[in-house]
Amino acid sequence: MADNQGDWLPSSKILHIQKGAWFGSRSVDFEGTSKLKETPPVVWLPQDEIGNSPSTPSYIEVGPYKGQMIHGEVTHGGIKRVFVEEVNGQLQGCVFRFIQGLEAGVNRIKWGPDGALYVGGIGNPGNWSHAGKKWFGLQRLAYNGTSVFEMLAVRAKSNGVEIEFTEPLAEGEGLNPGSYEVAQWYYKPTIEYGGPKLGESKLKVNSVTISPDRRRAFLEFAGLKAGYVVYVNIADGLISEKGNTLWSTETWYTLNQIPADKGTVIKSLEKFAVNTLSYQEKKDGWQLLFDGKKIDYFRNYGKSTMGKDWVIDDNAIHLKAVKVAGKWQAQDGGDLITKDSYQDYEFKLEWKISNCGNSGIMFNVVEDKKYEHAWKTGPEMQILDNTCHPDARFVTHRAGDLYDMIESFYPCAKPAGQWNKAMIRSKNGKVDFYLNGYKTVSFTMHTPEWKKMIAKSKFKDMPGFGLAKAGHIALQDHADKVWFRNIKIRKF
């Protein structure tokens, strides 16, 4: 059953009803309950992070989640999913976001005879409703068999936690301990309504071990405490073998008991240093295009040299962008292009933009005297400070967009001054953009639909735009400070 935050209840929770159990409330009989031992919940639902007013508990009957629990949420909205395991005779587990975007806060969920889940919505004028939604609703949800990449389960070990995914990770994904955030805290019931997190601390992930089938990642760390909530966040996002991106990055595990068994640890020799290739990347044929010391693989578009405004700063290729009044490029900058041309490849780098800055990554760039700039031929993955650059007014001019043509699926750019991970995958005209682990844009070039997109864009009067099937990759000078590092490519 679900229990909502209140007095003697610091946060909402899901309970396992048992004979003789007592769940912590002293409101009715303070003295009579003073010597009782509280039965812990199956999962805590940290207030306003993953819960506020949990409602009907149920279970899933279909798909990869079959056998797991679900429950509705009136105020936080949607449906949450709970994985449960038994440790030392105690039920415990973790809660995930599962379904959102429903028309009202969820009060009732019920499986119908047709195998679909029926969702009843509710709300009122006070604070017991999903903000911005209706006060009523009835919707039918049916599993369509589509694969979704996310955490299926998290299991506790004595030396960390094991994450199971619904799809195998892509080769080389998930190994960096720095990609994960882990914290823990506990709750203490008091007479006050609700309560704060207590004893909150961060736990450093020492290593990550990926299973041979790449469906599981074991995070090794010390300091787990029984009776605590363990929060896990995949901070950088991950990509699956199918090229899918994570549906949700967070989970909250209620650690009532610490199991005796340990997770398997295979120490990695990887250093995950900036501007280097990992062992897996070397094995998979990646080439490093910048080592942090010399700019050997790039030059200016239309030249054999490179402008003096392009320098090495903070182990990155940096455009220091000395501005010239009335000019849209730096005083001695210009677009950089790779010395080689590429067709069918994966290209990845990290970028950091200055406040209110603009730049971009162009590909399939044709270098010819009849084309004055790289953007005359090369489509662009936009780089932008979405918070204050004027271009952010336009829905196809934001970070991660196919510039002036396709809007990103997700707004996932990090703020100015922070590093963003970008990847362009191009094969047989099929192109995918990834930003911070999320697929932001997907399209196919050299088709009638592609020609129509060009005709509706600002590039419609540029006869060479978007036609090439191979070309240089360009880093744009838009007269704003920008940094690039970890620049790598592999050919298909």
| Secondary-structure percent of the chain, ordered helix, strand, coil, rounded to 5 | 5, 40, 55
CA 197 to chain centre: 25
> Considering only CA atoms, which of 336, 319, 334, 163 is closest in space to residue 250?
163
What pLDDT does 28 receive?
Answer: 87
Residue found under tokens 């969920």: 109
Give the C-alpha distances (Å, rounded to integers) separating 157 from 253, 275, 309: 12, 34, 52
Among candidates 184, 176, 353, 191, which has minimal Cα distance to 279?
176
How far is the CA of 324 from the CAs of 53, 87, 309, 333, 361, in angstroms?
Answer: 57, 66, 12, 11, 22
Q: Where are the alpha helices (H) located in 206-326, listed in sequence order?
A: 279-283
- Helix (H) / strand (E) element for 183: namely strand 180-186
Under 8 Å between Cβ of 321 and 481: yes
Two structure tokens written together for 3: 């229990």
- Residues contacting 283, CB < 8 A, separation 6+: none
**pLDDT for residue 271:** 83
- Measured between alpha carbons, how far is 108 from 133 in angstroms, rounded to an integer? 16
Place of tokens 């909150």: 200
**Identity of the amino acid at 330:** A
As a whole number of angstroms, the distance between CA 133 and CA 125 comes to: 11
- Digit-by-digit pLDDT tens for the chain (492 residues) are 999 999 999 999 999 999 989 998 888 888 888 889 999 999 999 999 999 999 999 999 889 999 999 999 999 999 999 999 999 999 999 999 999 999 999 999 999 999 999 999 998 877 789 999 999 999 999 999 987 999 999 999 999 999 999 999 999 999 999 999 999 999 999 999 999 999 999 999 999 999 999 999 999 999 999 999 999 999 988 999 999 999 999 999 999 999 999 999 998 888 889 999 998 899 999 999 999 999 999 999 999 999 999 999 999 999 999 888 888 899 999 999 999 999 999 999 999 999 999 999 999 999 999 999 999 999 999 999 999 999 999 999 999 999 999 999 989 999 999 999 999 999 999 999 999 999 999 999 999 999 999 999 999 999 999 999 999 999 999 999 999 999 999 999
Give residue 25's pLDDT: 87
According to the model, what pLDDT value does residue 337 have? 98
Chain centroid to Cα 339, Å, comes to 33
Written as one letter, the residue type at 465 is F
Which SS3 state, helix, strand or coil, does residue 448 take?
helix
Would you say how long the chain is, in residues?
A: 492
Q: Which residues contact 229 (CB under 8 A, 6 or more apart)?
A: 44, 46, 184, 185, 186, 187, 197, 252, 253, 254, 255
d(CA 86, CA 155): 10
| Residue 279 identity | Y
Pairing of strands 430-435, 216-220: unpaired
Q: Three-class SS of residue 92?
A: strand
Q: Say if CB 13 and CB 44 are below 8 A apart.
A: yes
* pTM, full prediction: 0.92
Nearest C-alpha neighbor of 208 from the set 225, 232, 226, 230: 232
Query: Whose CA is closest to 416, among 334, 480, 475, 363?
Result: 480
Output the pLDDT for position 61. Answer: 85
- Cβ count near 376 (within 10 Å): 18
* SS3 assignment, position 119: strand
- What pLDDT is attached to residue 324? 83
- 146 contact partners, CB below 8 Å, separation of at least 6: none
- In the chain, the domains with their CATH numbers are 2-255 (2.60.40.1220), 279-491 (2.60.120.560)
Cβ contacts of 98 within 8 Å, gap of 6 or more: 70, 78, 79, 80, 81, 248
